[in-house]
Amino acid sequence: MIVKQDIRKLHHFINGTFVPGTSGRFSNVYNPCTGEVIAHVPLATREEVRQAIETAKSALPQWTALSGGKRSEIVQRFRQLIKEHEEKLIETICEESGKTKEDARGEIQRGLESVDLAINAPHMVKGEYSVNVGGDINMFSRKEPLGVVAAISPFNFPVMVPLAQTSMAVAVGNAIILKPSEKVPQSALYLSKLWKEAGLPDGIWTVINGDQEAVREILENETVKAIHFVGSTPVAEYIYQTGTKYNKRVAALGGGKNFMIVMPDADLEKAANAFIGAAYGAASQRCMALSGVIPVGKETADQFVAILKEKIAKIKVGPYTDEEVDFGPVISKESKEIILGYIDRSLKEGAKLVTDGRHPEIAKNSNGFYLGPTLLDEVTQEMGIFKDEVFGPVRIVVRADSLQEAMNLINSHELGNGVTIFTNNGAAARKFQDEIEVGMVGVNVPIPIPVGYHNFAGWKRSNFGTGVMFGPEQANFFTKRKTISEKWMDMEETSQTTFSFPSK
Amino acid sequence: MIVKQDIRKLHHFINGTFVPGTSGRFSNVYNPCTGEVIAHVPLATREEVRQAIETAKSALPQWTALSGGKRSEIVQRFRQLIKEHEEKLIETICEESGKTKEDARGEIQRGLESVDLAINAPHMVKGEYSVNVGGDINMFSRKEPLGVVAAISPFNFPVMVPLAQTSMAVAVGNAIILKPSEKVPQSALYLSKLWKEAGLPDGIWTVINGDQEAVREILENETVKAIHFVGSTPVAEYIYQTGTKYNKRVAALGGGKNFMIVMPDADLEKAANAFIGAAYGAASQRCMALSGVIPVGKETADQFVAILKEKIAKIKVGPYTDEEVDFGPVISKESKEIILGYIDRSLKEGAKLVTDGRHPEIAKNSNGFYLGPTLLDEVTQEMGIFKDEVFGPVRIVVRADSLQEAMNLINSHELGNGVTIFTNNGAAARKFQDEIEVGMVGVNVPIPIPVGYHNFAGWKRSNFGTGVMFGPEQANFFTKRKTISEKWMDMEETSQTTFSFPSK
Amino acid sequence: MIVKQDIRKLHHFINGTFVPGTSGRFSNVYNPCTGEVIAHVPLATREEVRQAIETAKSALPQWTALSGGKRSEIVQRFRQLIKEHEEKLIETICEESGKTKEDARGEIQRGLESVDLAINAPHMVKGEYSVNVGGDINMFSRKEPLGVVAAISPFNFPVMVPLAQTSMAVAVGNAIILKPSEKVPQSALYLSKLWKEAGLPDGIWTVINGDQEAVREILENETVKAIHFVGSTPVAEYIYQTGTKYNKRVAALGGGKNFMIVMPDADLEKAANAFIGAAYGAASQRCMALSGVIPVGKETADQFVAILKEKIAKIKVGPYTDEEVDFGPVISKESKEIILGYIDRSLKEGAKLVTDGRHPEIAKNSNGFYLGPTLLDEVTQEMGIFKDEVFGPVRIVVRADSLQEAMNLINSHELGNGVTIFTNNGAAARKFQDEIEVGMVGVNVPIPIPVGYHNFAGWKRSNFGTGVMFGPEQANFFTKRKTISEKWMDMEETSQTTFSFPSK
Amino acid sequence: MIVKQDIRKLHHFINGTFVPGTSGRFSNVYNPCTGEVIAHVPLATREEVRQAIETAKSALPQWTALSGGKRSEIVQRFRQLIKEHEEKLIETICEESGKTKEDARGEIQRGLESVDLAINAPHMVKGEYSVNVGGDINMFSRKEPLGVVAAISPFNFPVMVPLAQTSMAVAVGNAIILKPSEKVPQSALYLSKLWKEAGLPDGIWTVINGDQEAVREILENETVKAIHFVGSTPVAEYIYQTGTKYNKRVAALGGGKNFMIVMPDADLEKAANAFIGAAYGAASQRCMALSGVIPVGKETADQFVAILKEKIAKIKVGPYTDEEVDFGPVISKESKEIILGYIDRSLKEGAKLVTDGRHPEIAKNSNGFYLGPTLLDEVTQEMGIFKDEVFGPVRIVVRADSLQEAMNLINSHELGNGVTIFTNNGAAARKFQDEIEVGMVGVNVPIPIPVGYHNFAGWKRSNFGTGVMFGPEQANFFTKRKTISEKWMDMEETSQTTFSFPSK
């Protein structure tokens, strides 16, 4: 690799300042559209992480001393600054992730929903108050911040996921240590500037760049009280098991294998449009992307595949600088190879190639990590491509003879993030909602991602622990409850001892 | 040990029936008041546990198929039956735990509070409903039962803790596997009869007796989705780390070292009465028992110790059959020895013996596991008896010069279950509430145990994970959320594809 | 009227005792199945009501002094007693209202749902607690009982409606004055005994029998803080306007004109079964009874009417002593005449008589107030029978050409209690839910009555004010909120004055 | 009155445009600091109001069609614009109300809290969702906007009260008709510009200026579904009784007579500082201003009055253009006279003049409506100045011998808005909280005004109906609940009729 002169040297963001890494270890940040290295991101040592955590801890008192309203005002200013810097943020996201501008804009918008919810943190963290629960005792509860908490983010949403993981955490009075993906560190660093400008005290928002070593320190450091992780299922499982081994609270959201069931009564044209966007958008690099479709009945399947084929042919792949493009490259060369491996293996296992995206036009003249949209038909439950989450634009058709069979395919899968059905029939939709073992369920909806004021969480191996992303439950995850029993003596009260267990 | 003829042979309760153990392994159940073995409890093999779990799983569909209201009616009948069988339950508790009747009655009453809350499970598990969150999508959530869940209970509350752990779990639609303490298995078995009579379907409530082997199966069995543990801190930590290693939800509530701070302005007579009952009641075998007192100022300390000494002299120790008795024996011979060890060590370390309960009068003529009330003054932070939870009637005085110093003593302790302050001063109470790092806080209250409709949970090493006992949070712990995005097409809708990330 | 010797003389229930009326004014209570007078109910003077209210007021302190848990226990015992006395209550309901035993049993069951919710009053009345809202002020709220409150009940649910109106009111700490319908006073009086036996302090539950004079006192008496009324729309409106004129809180639930829309895709057989039961059950004397059906399309209408005709022919009308009977008499001779008047007028206005229930077989040999099921087709929006709630077994068919037209018919009606649609189409159900201006909406459900843990309330002239029946909102209606801002000084605090409006 | 050339001609704001009044009737708007007329505000005819209401109604569909998130974004922009225009708004408030800049700034800040809460309207209006409440019926609720609603605002908070009354109303999907006080119409008109700029659709926010005639139309117009009034008690009562007579929802918040109890153990210096600011700030023209103090014990009273006298002497009265000024003029000449009348009458009735503010220095050279701070001692319960809310800087001392006596004085008053106690004693504070019959209670807090996320509401004649200002309850007041029972048929279901009342 030839290091070009203009490659940026990225920093950490600690104690309100951008500070260079001290480890001497760096990772390359690529522009996936060109395949070029655009920046070097420092990989923190455990000692650097430890010190950042200590700094965060010592910043806490002045943050928790503020009233909820004062903290909320800073969150509001932060929101406003994101809107003001939206175009620059989009550019940053696109450059390091390769996604289209429209997609980056959507990501920011959804990320803002979490900030919006955090604005109302003072309402969200109210405790409960009871008068005279017995013996003239009033009993009440308060939700207090945990202290220093951490978030570990994936590459696919450089802004939305960090905002969703951290906004409420900060608003309720914690200090956050964010370790963004080393593939897309610039977006998180950009947010740091905005928090600073919004008036957040130094030390409350920390971005530490790094790899396993930084993660290890986060997992083991006693000062870190909770970890919020979003990423692939194997790493989520590792984080859950390791974080809890160190007695922390852990939310660990993993991957998905999300299917669309198409019923014979569905409007196939609409269903196909929904599928194309939700399946191939962002080069399929979303934990809630549709991984495949399960048409019910041969006739439905044949027609639906024909429509998809036609629509896929019109999809345009290319760099985000081209506004006509539907989706961009995948995140890395390694990722591209893994995806190609899945296609090849599936074909050997008997899948039928409907459209072949392995060699897109754009790849002829670009070193970007491009793949075109691939569709495989007649995929079965036994194939690896059915079982694994594949983070790239190869999608599958699995055929079923009945709604029940389609649901069985999904319910037997070890992942359970998202799922959707297309039908006009109320009874089919109800059966689906009742019996599908998946956390986020759609009816005639392409991707059933909750809005910011509802909770986002998969089931089964798509989510370890009880944590969520988005939604009011975040306020509970990032606080601990103190329950107070308060009595005030009065003069007349007789004085006597009770040895028995108090029962009202 | 001479096995007497009338020693009962206890069973498991599986699939609605009492079934004998098959392992050939048994544990002795004692009457702590006499020191005699009263029953043999079978220790289950992993295979027995596994089968019980499978039975529970297969019983689920008929339980979850019932409406919330129908399930609630069964919970109501269960509650009514407990009231009807109250005297028999008290007898059972007393015989195997040694606690006084009044104490057992209090325990049942507090246990019923959890049943009361479970009656309203249908209200507690409501999801949220939003109209048109964007794109004509209505979004709503439902809380669904987890499936088979387990509870592991301690010996000190043979009825209250199992009720608190399981009532909501059952009411929201789970099947429960309860492993009671092998020291007090009869109370839980008694509850089994009542559930059966109340109309609970067979298989939904299982009592499996056992030791580490049974626990191991519960921890590792994939069908068990959540574990609720109450016990000592070391075991709680083990359960949390091991259960989460198997990707389960785990609530693990551990021990406490709970102090009463006595301020100079407090009514010492009232404070002393509160202390005596909350400290020595149930032979101090409560995770929320007061472990010690921290008087503020020398004068307060001297006076308070003098008052305590006088009051302790009047405490009567003996069997539950004697209604005049204040507290009974500790749970076992081993426990008694551990407690004596703590006293001896403390004296060597410099503690002053205020009252000596090592050789109570009753012990002269009884093989029961009796200890009288012991009070040690001038205990310091460095002594083992300050650091460890001691489950027996030796309590300590730690002297401090200021409220701040008293709070520092508590905040530096690794446990954080309960704490209380006696004062008439609002400012002192507020400072205490704000800055004390303990989960359950009292003001002029002997033991700040929440009522059934508030959440019970300690901080620090008194509680691992986010789980609670009692309170509305139980409904969340025992359910998982499904979020549904529902749209219905209409004719006029135009059909087009969106590749970008959906943002309202 | 010849007064028979065995006619009961009913009492009021005041201060825990049955007391005779002093006015000398009485009203007849009939057995509608025989037309005979079974009891004389005293009609209270204003002075009697006034004294009952004063008695209630003076009983309050001992009731509010109890902890929520203690009050809840009494509610639990009350619930249990209702179950134990269920058969006697059924007999009482049937005798004075004429409804079938099965119907009375259902009414009690639904009434118990309100008692169930009231059991959890301590949870329902929790206030909110916020730490440091600014200036070290903690802010919290508590919901306190209003004091003396009143309920005025209709004749059609002698047990369910009083339970729904009063259970939460009592549980949260109020004293209730219940004025039942003078047509069915015995059921409410029966409940009085059960409350007494359950341990409710004397004076907290009062039954005052009476007519407009008693109502007038309730409306004007300053001590009565809230009124919960269920009855016909004109009276509800009067109660709302008059009660609020005296500055009270008023919930006033009125009548309904509830339609079932039948879509062409519906299963007509199922829809017809649903209609028959929900329309004619209890001789149509329910505010949520189906008043008519709006089939969409001529074909649907013709078929549906044909099926209804056939099914109506099999309906059996008679006394509750005959277990085969589908519904009984209407409540009074006057009521019967009003209903006959509606039929005659409708026929003159052009409605077509599908089945004629004016002269049922049973009426030949009985003086009971019997009417058979009548169905009128081709009813239009202009006819009186479309506009008015008719409390008797004459139901109507209004034909529409489209879902939109059907909905317009409903939305233009001044009442908006309940409505339902039968269809298998998700889009039709959604459009219906979105656009129908009715408070309680069904989809493939005969009568969309909420369960006890959801709120019951119509829209438009079916409900005046913001009050509901059933559901958690009851707890808000019967309490007032106190918001407390609490600060405790500390020594270091500087002392200075702020003239400006405090803003955090 | 000589109309000066530069007197502004104010407009209404209807359908997104400033439109001149057509009635030919105008009212003078004064600068209270100079006594000069600064503007003429049109007084609308009933017809003008009627048309504005119709316009609002026709604007509704496009507003309710937006998702909650889209509406929330507009609210956010509105908030941001208020911040940007803060200085101009302050100027506007000061000019027409005479309050100081610092006070105006505080008012805006507190008003923003209501906007903040409205940002989370989508969360606030969530309904509840229950699975299978019986018979496979899912039951859920949604909160729908009422349609056209109205707010009538007082003069004393030209920005805060309108924001508090309307922000949530708008955010949840209603159209608002705001009638500001004709004394301070410019602030509300200014807000209109900001809503427009924020993107609110025309017709959703209407400002109609007027007097009783406009109010009459609002009260009687059928299209107006709810009225939110804040003002004096007599008018609040009129609005409540008249609005409900037209079957509307009415929140009517009236005046207050708010006392500070000073206990002998209180820090008198701090209490006095708190009193001075909260009593005289804004020339006492706040419904939550402290009206008087009740010192407990003669010694406390004597000392406290002496301290107050000294502090009052330092209060500076003058125009808002002078930054040193503590408070400004009262709102009008008429108001000034009424206040003077109260002083004179009180002196005749026996009150003692501690400080005399009837002829402040500034009044010598200004036509502004100035009054200096007056303090009257030895006021008794019988005097008019004890009974009535006086909206100007005359405050009273009422002496009591015990806390109980002090509380009796307050509890016997017909108003119950706010109250506060100064003490260091926890027991006194608890007794006060428990037994005081006032809606907003302070402990060591000058004015116990709730923050925006808690509910603001007095008791007794300070509040008619169940409505509040601020707080989550606003979302309930401005929405109506629709409860839906949804079932979907399936093939196997048997078809049969049930006549009895459905009970799960």
Q: Token pair for residue D168?
A: 């949530």
Is residue D94 flagged as an active site residue?
no
Task: Return the bridge partners of B36, or none.
Answer: B31
Neighbours of B495 (CB within 10 A): 12
Report residue B6's pLDDT band, with 50, 70 and 90 as the boundaries: confident
Judged against a pLDDT cut of 90, whether residue C247 lies above it is answered with yes
Percent over 70 (pLDDT), chain D: 96
Q: Which one of D501, D503, D504 would you mutate to disrupt binding with C, by most C Cβ within 10 Å of its Cβ?
A: D501
Nearest Cα to A124, choosing from A135, A114, A137? A114
Judged against a pLDDT cut of 60, whether residue C493 lies above it is answered with no
User: What pLDDT, on the 0 to 100 scale, is given for residue C5?
Assistant: 57
Write down the CATH superfamily of domain D258-443: Aldehyde Dehydrogenase; Chain A, domain 2 (3.40.309.10)
**Are C245 and D249 a contacting pair at CB < 8 A?**
no
- Domains of chain C, by residue range, sit at 8-254+462-483, 258-443
> Could you say which of C122, C129, C134 has the minimum Cβ distance to residue A126?
C129
At C314, the amino acid letter reads: K
Neighbours of A5 (CB within 10 A): 4
Q: Token pair for residue C470?
A: 């059933």
Nearest Cα to C111, choosing from C175, C164, C180? C164
Residue-by-residue DSSP string for C278-341 = HHHGGGG-STTSEEEEEEBSHHHHHHHHHHHHHHHTT--B--TTSTT-SB---S-HHHHHHHHH
Report residue D504's pLDDT band, with 50, 70 and 90 as the boundaries: very low
d(C-alpha C27, C-alpha A19), whole Å: 89
Task: Return the bridge partners of C469, or none.
Answer: C456
Nearest Cα to A303, choosing from A334, A265, A254, A277? A265
CATH number of A8-130+141-254+462-478: 3.40.605.10
Any B CB within 8 A of C74 CB:
no
Closest chain D residue to C112 measured between Cα atoms? D503
Q: Which one of C66, C71, C73, C76 would you mutate to disrupt binding with B, by most B Cβ within 10 Å of its Cβ?
A: C76
Model confidence pLDDT, tens digit, residues A225-262:
999 999 999 999 999 999 999 999 999 999 999 999 99
Judged against a pLDDT cut of 60, whether residue C183 lies above it is answered with yes
User: What pLDDT, on the 0 to 100 scale, is given for residue B489?
Assistant: 83
Average pLDDT, whole number, for chain D? 95
Distance between alpha carbon A221 and the CA centroid of its chain, in Å? Answer: 23
Any B CB within 8 A of D4 CB:
no
Model confidence pLDDT, tens digit, residues A275-292:
999 999 999 999 999 999
Judged against a pLDDT cut of 50, whether residue D41 lies above it is answered with yes
Judged against a pLDDT cut of 90, whether residue B217 lies above it is answered with yes
User: What pLDDT, on the 0 to 100 scale, is given for residue B496?
Assistant: 53
CA distance readout (Å), A355 to A40, A372, A394: 37, 9, 9
CATH number of C8-254+462-483: 3.40.605.10
Task: Return the bridge partners of C400, or none.
Answer: C296
User: What pLDDT, on the 0 to 100 scale, is given for residue D153?
Assistant: 98
More confident residue, B124 or B503: B124
Task: Return the bridge partners of C260, or none.
Answer: C293, C420
Classify residue C414 as exposed, middle or buried by CB count within 10 Å of its CB (0-12, 13-18, 19+).
exposed
H runs (alpha helix) in B27-140: 46-64, 68-84, 86-97, 101-119, 121-124
Nearest Cα to A167, choosing from A211, A198, A143? A198
Residues of chain C in contact with residue B117, where contact means CB-CB under 8 angstroms, are 120, 123
Nearest Cα to B265, choosing from B438, B446, B444, B445? B444
Radius of gyration of chain A (CA): 25
Percent over 90 (pLDDT), chain B: 95
Q: In which element (H, E) is residue C248 found?
A: none
CA angle B327, B331, B332 (to 5 degrees): 130
- Identify whether the C-beta of residue C371 lies closer than 8 Å to the C-beta of residue C330: yes
Judged against a pLDDT cut of 70, whether residue B497 lies above it is answered with no
B 88-107: CB under 8 A from A: 100, 102-103, 105-107
Query: pTM for the whole thing?
Result: 0.95
Nearest Cα to B194, choosing from B293, B335, B92? B92
**Are C142 and A135 a contacting pair at CB < 8 A?**
no
Model confidence pLDDT, tens digit, residues A16-56:
999 999 999 999 999 999 999 999 999 999 999 999 999 99
Judged against a pLDDT cut of 90, whether residue A503 lies above it is answered with no
Q: For residues A394-413, b (16+ Cβ closer than 10 Å) or e, as one string?
A: bbbbbbbeebeebbebbeeb
Distance from CA of B122 to the nearest CA of C (A): 7
Distance between alpha carbon C264 and the CA centroid of its chain, in Å? Answer: 33
Report residue B494's pLDDT band, with 50, 70 and 90 as the boundaries: very low
CA angle A280, A180, A239 (to 5 degrees): 90
Report residue D498's pLDDT band, with 50, 70 and 90 as the boundaries: low
Model confidence pLDDT, tens digit, residues C122-163:
999 999 999 999 999 999 999 999 999 999 999 999 999 999
d(C-alpha D270, C-alpha D274), whole Å: 6
Number of CB pairs, chain A paired with chain C, less than 8 A apart: 84
B 33-62: CB under 8 A from C: none
> Could you say which of D126, D424, D427 has the minimum Cβ distance to residue B130?
D126
Any B CB within 8 A of A438 CB:
yes
Model confidence pLDDT, tens digit, residues D222-281:
999 999 999 999 999 999 999 999 999 999 999 999 999 999 999 999 999 999 999 999
Residues of chain C in contact with residue A69, where contact means CB-CB under 8 angstroms, are 133-134, 504
Classify residue C265 as exposed, middle or buried by CB count within 10 Å of its CB (0-12, 13-18, 19+).
middle
Distance from CA of A431 to the nearest CA of B (A): 13
**Are A132 and C70 a contacting pair at CB < 8 A?**
no
**Are B72 and C119 a contacting pair at CB < 8 A?**
no
At A244, the amino acid letter reads: T
**Are C130 and A140 a contacting pair at CB < 8 A?**
no
Which residues, at least 6 apart from A491, have a Cβ–Cβ distance to it below 8 Å? none
Judged against a pLDDT cut of 50, whether residue D450 lies above it is answered with yes
CA distance readout (Å), B490 to A446, C426, C428: 16, 10, 9
DSSP code of residue A439: S
- Identify whether the C-beta of residue D338 lies closer than 8 Å to the C-beta of residue D346: no
d(C-alpha B315, C-alpha A497), whole Å: 11
Residue-by-residue DSSP string for A61-116 = HHHHTS-HHHHHHHHHHHHHHHHHTHHHHHHHHHHHH---HHHHHHHHHHHHHHHH
Classify residue D356 as exposed, middle or buried by CB count within 10 Å of its CB (0-12, 13-18, 19+).
middle
d(C-alpha C349, C-alpha C340), whole Å: 14
Judged against a pLDDT cut of 80, whether residue B311 lies above it is answered with yes
